A and B are shown apart, each in its own frame.
Chain A
Amino acid sequence: MSAPAHAGPALGDPHGSPARRLVRRWWFSLAMGMSIAVVLAFLTLPVVAIFVNVSPGRLLSSLGGSQSLQALRLSLETSAIAVAAVVLVGTPGAYLLATRRFRGDALVLTLIELPLVLPPAVAGIGLLASLGPHGLLGGALAAAHIQLVLQTAGVVVALAFVSAPLYLRQAHAAFAAIEREHIEGALALGIRRPAVFLHVAVPIARPALLAGLALAWGRALGEFGATLMFAGSFQGITQTIPLAIYDEFSSDFPAALALSALLVVVSAAVLLTIKLLWTPSRPPI
């Protein structure tokens, strides 16, 4: 701190000799290359290992078991319902939050994003404490004859809770990125607000909305902790694929591997399908 600040060209000189610049650039590229290699190896190795250990035949035969098949069906159904609910209920809210300024809008966005950083166990406890039989709304739900714990509906609630923020923050960012002229131009032409939302904003934001949907769906398919704590685990009713995998892990490791491979295939298929869906139509700009 006592030395005077560097004023001369000694540090960070951008005009060194061409050779030195080349070396510097080469090192930079090497560091970048190393970074992507390490990241790629780290992220793909576990997935590769699952498929190294599971032959395609084993993967197919794992589908034959009634437990796997029921878990797969339940996972697809509950995650589809949860994500559909999130999209239908959440999209207008994300649009409002992105296009109107009001006091506390940043706080609202932060609250919506909060479940992202909550551990699944906290999500499970929170759902029990709010919607469980002894929870804040437990009495009201019971009076309305709505039971969530130990029911498929409870799985949907848990999946929606953990996956919603992934979609909503993406939707918010997508709507916020729309240039105001598009909206204002449409309004100036006399198009009503609901029509502007449906026929201008949503089509422009569509690629990002679909990307958010894919992320949310993937998260819902993989949800474990909150589902177990809130909805429990029972074959055919609340046991989704991740719960079935954990069940098999302690009794039959190869079966757990096969089921994991199945979940990878299903999740990848969901991701790919959604990606293919959004490529044909480009945003009209």
Chain B
Amino acid sequence: MTRPRALLAAGIACALATEFGACGSSKPQLRVSAAASLHQAFTRYGESFAPARTRFSFAGSDALAAQIEQGARPDVFASADKKLPAQLFVKRLVRRPVEFAVNKLVLAVPSGSPITRLAQIERPGTTVAAGTASVPIGAYTATVISRLAGAQRRALLANIRDREPDVTGIVGKLTEGAVDAGFVYATDVLATRGAVRAIELPPTLQPRVGYAVAVVRGSAHLSQALAFVAGLLRGPGRADLAASGFLPPARR
């Protein structure tokens, strides 16, 4: 009677200890806060990342940055823009950020949609999902809309009926047919494997979508965190990013 119980207790203790990175393998646990749009690429990269076991927290970059400002201490912060890591760097919460990937903003529609051009979503009655003002996907969308002519801009703004806290929410609304169109990243469309179709934006409207990553100050796993970032820039992470549709950062 006692042995199964003891085993169970040991199992529970081990499971609890694993949460704090102390049981089973001796690998440390690297906590990575990453933009929702990095879900696929980072999950793949994390599986093959040798120096540490990775634990990801995917959400809107702005929410992740707010958590760090409120005292959360992941080891790495990867943002869908360069602004948020730069702000945390100024506040001395993260080390110097570095750009590691480039993405594109697209207009996305459910696969069966008759919409083929941006101008079509300016028609009254069309519903459009976008990000909130503070999440990068919403900020990029605001840039695109600000580049439109006055009448077009007003028509499009009037059709935005949903402000999602991260890009995952916009994709979900599209795949469920809850909206007619939404502004998302090109990589998100690829990840839906056909459920959602991308409509390219004219080059004059396309904002520059650069992703930056930074090691969080006070990280207990500095060498692993640095290795994680290095792998994104030059190592296997780069291939995983490319496989998900990300472009390499611009050469300096």
A residues adjacent to B (C-beta < 8 A): 1, 128, 132-135, 138, 149-150, 228-229, 232-235, 237-239, 246-247, 249-251, 253
Contact = CB atoms under 8 A, between A and B. Distances in A.
Contact of A134 (B62, B134, B163, B176): B176
Contacts of A235: 163
Contacts of A150: 127, 161-162, 178-179
Given A246-B165, A253-B69, A232 B178 contact: yes
Contacts of A234: 160-163
A247 B66 CA distance: 11
A251 B176 contact: no
12 contacts: A1-B1, A128-B176, A133-B178, A135-B176, A149-B178, A228-B165, A232-B163, A232-B178, A234-B163, A247-B132, A250-B65, A253-B66
Given A150-B127, A233-B164, A234-B162, A250 B177 contact: no
Contacts of B172: 229
A253 B63 CA distance: 10
Contacts of B161: 150, 232, 234, 237
Nearest to A151: B161
Contacts of B169: 228-229
A132 B178 contact: yes
B70 interface: yes
Interface string B165-198: 1000100110011110000000000000000000
Given A1-B1, A132-B176, A149-B179, 5 more contacts: A128-B176, A132-B178, A133-B177, A251-B62, A251-B132
Contacts of A232: 129, 161-164, 173, 178-179
A250 B134 contact: yes
A136 B179 CA distance: 17
A134 B135 contact: no
B60 interface: yes
Contacts of A239: 163
A249 B66 contact: yes
Nearest to A248: B134
Interface residues of B, number: 27
Nearest to B179: A150
B133 interface: yes
Which 9 A-B pairs rank lowest in CB-CB distance, beginning with the nearest? A232-B162, A250-B62, A251-B134, A133-B177, A149-B178, A250-B63, A134-B177, A250-B66, A128-B176
Nearest to B127: A150
B216 to A, nearest CB: 17
A234 B169 CA distance: 13
Contacts of B177: 132-134, 138
A251 B164 contact: no
Interface string B44-87: 00000000000000001011011001100000000000000000
Chain A CB within 10 Å, residue with most, of B127, B135, B178: B178
Contacts of A134: 176-177
A128 B127 CA distance: 16
A238 B69 contact: no
Contact of A238 (B62, B160, B162): B162
Contacts of A229: 169, 172
A253 B173 CA distance: 27
Interface in B133-172: 133-135, 160-165, 169, 172
Nearest to A250: B62
A233 B178 contact: no
A96 to B, nearest CB: 35
Contacts of B69: 253
Contacts of B70: 253
Nearest to A229: B172
A147 B178 CA distance: 10
Contacts of A247: 132, 134, 163, 165
A128 B176 CA distance: 7
